[in-house]
Structure 1
Amino acid sequence: MQPDKRTEIVKKLIGETELSTKAFAEKAGLPYTTLRSMLQRGIGNASVDNVMKVCKALNITTDELQEMAENNTVDLPELTNKDEQDIQKELQKMIDGLSNDGYAAFDGKEMGDMNEEDREMLIQSLEYSMRIAKKMAKQKFTPYKYRK
């Protein structure tokens, strides 16, 4: 795997946030020049702390970034409006299940016991995982003649 594949993925994910590079750098807690340098020179040349800050701002882990680069998930198909609606419905079912029955927990805490930031991070992680899974399924099960 080439180190610049991770950089390509990070650039794509930042673009999906619809924030400017300066606004994203602020969200990540990095100076704009540092983020710009990371994107120009490659994530592989950046400090681990800075990569972790970028990943946290993208709501992914460094392991997920590595996995995306290894699995080439940056080139997955786009989701349709119906796909988005299905993800939101399933996500709501998951959240309701975590909130209502008390049988599921994350990091030893039930949803009601988590602070707002942890709850939001859990929800975003679940949603991101569902999106990647849906895209991977679309890529795997869409016949070649219908792929764009």
Structure 2
Amino acid sequence: MTAFDRVKKLCEEKRISVVELEEKLNFSRNSLYSWKKNKPSSDKLEKVADFFNVTTDYLLGRTDKKRYYDLTEKDEKDIQKELEKMINNLSSNTGYAAFDGSSIDELDEEDRELLIASLENTLRLSKRLAKQKFTPQKFRD
């Protein structure tokens, strides 16, 4: 996948055309289309990366990770382990009580699924925010 292909995909996600992007960034017409065959200049690459809040490595195809704070496979595994631990604590008599003092096992299926989904989303969000806040500048792209 070329840098242009990635830019085009990002434009589609943001619901703008490549021409609109060129206008917003004050690039000459069809300058982004030239990325199909030529390597982009570093200044234009940085402007596009900043516009979409992605890394230049992502645009160049060096990584599929769009942002430095995106979750990795290891992060996902850690989230699942932590979620499992939380569910076990909610299920045990000595653990936390859900809602009105009942354990998670006593909830109806819909409430149980909603609680687990909420916990998982909270863990994901907190992990992403921590990466944003605490990743040293030298490791950010």
TM-score, normalised to structure 1, is: 0.46
TM-score, normalised to structure 2, is: 0.49
Structure with max Cα Rg: 2
- Using CA pairs under 8 Å that are at least 6 residues apart, name the structure with larger relative contact order, 1 or 2: 1
